[in-house]
Amino acid sequence: MKAWKRVVGAVAVAWCGALAGAEQADLPAGGITVVTHVGAKDNETVLDVLAPVSGDNARLLMLNPRGSLLSGPEEEANLGVVYRRMFEDPFMIVGGNLFYDSRWTRYGHHFNQLGAGVEALSRWIDFRFNYYLPEKGRKIIREWEETSVDTTTTRRRGRRYHNSDGDLIEPIITTRTTTITTTRYTLFEEAMQGYDVELGTALEWLPEWLDTSLFAGYYNFWSEYSGRLDGFRGRLEVRPVKAVFIDAEYYTDPELNDSRYIVGARLRVPFDFWNMRRGGSAFEGTREAFRAGRRSLDDRMTDMVIRDFRCRTSVGTSSTVVNQTTTTGTSTQNQTIAKGDDDDDDGPPEYPEGQGY
């Protein structure tokens, strides 16, 4: 539960920091979002908090703590700073964010990374670009050694000669070389550097109660030792009511998420810390959030940041020869080609020394 402890701590720090300053009576409500994603092999549950700490309805600085529980023992914690500004001409939101991401993997390793992103949100078109810079270095999963034996044998004819009995002798020289190699193999895990980009559009021709957007994107992650993952992504987002998001994603490369398809849902409710401090309800506006209809651009100032919150890792194998010995042995076997009392005057032809067969 390391990730959830960090999220709770980050939320406390965010609001305590805001309390230390002057009360921001005109701050819009933040939001608490619960996310679930289901793939072929991985499931994910996320708690995302977007807490305004400074600004107004047109300029907003927010803290964004977030925690994720993945399949098995994996956890993810993120803490971000998000700034958004609304422009009237053109009517759009432009924003940027900085994140510190931590991941505890199924192999018991802990990786950290820095992330930075920019976004442009409007009624019809959305654009996002995110970059991820992890810490360097490999972390060992396990090591083992294997020993291999390689033997080669060669034979050649030696120079023929006559022995004391007059027999014609041909030596057969056999050379055997044995190489014993001990190799140490290392299975390791490392974080991947990369980026992703996404462009989407609202499907305005659909009924207003079926607020839908379609996105296309590209991702590219690489590591120092274990290769590259890149491909295209498509995403469909449907909002039957303002507080509920249903999405489906398709990836051209299933290796990124162990699945080509991911489906999920998000439930977002407003959370107004300043209203609670003034004696009102922290969840004021929740009833309106469950009404159908298209969201205004004002509503999107506190939308959840869309980025890859996972610190991506890959697994690779390296090998090192730790010991190698070579031994060579030679043996000779004499072969009688012709007896000394044979009637043949010349006998079989002689071969030059060293000629093989």
Residue spans of the domains in the chain: they are 2-139+192-318
Cβ–Cβ under 8 Å, residues 245 and 266: yes
**DSSP codes, 260-291:** SEEEEEEEEEEE-HHHHHTTS-TTTTHHHHTS
User: Phi first, then psi: what are they for 137, rounded to 5°?
Assistant: 110, 150
**DSSP codes, 88-116:** ETTEEEEEEEEEEEEEE-TTS-EEEEEEE
Tokens read off for 136: 């360097």
Q: What whole-number distance in Å separates Cα of residue 350 and Cα of residue 335? A: 13
Cα distances from 162 to residues 9, 158, 166, 255, in angstroms, run 96, 13, 5, 72
Alpha-carbon Rg for the chain, nearest whole angstrom, is 35
Tokens read off for 339: 């007896």
Of 1.10.10.10, 2.40.160.160, 3.90.1150.150, 3.40.50.2300, the CATH number of 2-139+192-318 is: 2.40.160.160
Query: What's the average pLDDT block by block, 10 residues per block, for the chain (357 residues)?
Result: 51 50 65 89 89 90 92 88 93 96 92 97 94 91 93 89 85 92 93 96 86 95 86 94 92 88 93 76 81 84 92 90 92 84 51 45
Could you tell me which of 312, 245, 281, 289 has the C-alpha nearest to residue 48?
245
pLDDT at 71: 74
pLDDT at 32: 93
Cβ–Cβ under 8 Å, residues 304 and 137: no
Cβ–Cβ under 8 Å, residues 314 and 223: yes
pLDDT at 355: 45
pLDDT at 12: 53
Q: What whole-number distance in Å separates Cα of residue 265 and Cα of residue 96? A: 24
Tokens read off for 211: 């607020």
pLDDT at 25: 54
Could you tell me which of 159, 175, 177, 176 has the C-alpha nearest to residue 335?
159
Instruction: Calculate the CA dihedral of residues 23, 8, 128, 297 and round it to 10 degrees.
Output: -40
Beta bridge partners of 156: 173, 356
pLDDT at 308: 92
Secondary-structure breakdown of the chain: helix, strand, coil percentages, each rounded to the nearest 5: 10, 60, 30
Cis, bond preceding 90 (omega within 30 deg of 0):
yes
pLDDT at 188: 92
**pTM of the predicted structure, to 2 decimals:** 0.79
pLDDT at 26: 67
pLDDT at 295: 82
CB atoms within 10 A of CB 257: 21
Q: 166: left (phi > 0), else alpha (psi -120 to 50), else beta?
A: left
Could you tell me which of 215, 193, 199 has the C-alpha nearest to residue 314?
193
Could you tell me which of 188, 183, 255 has the C-alpha nearest to residue 225?
188
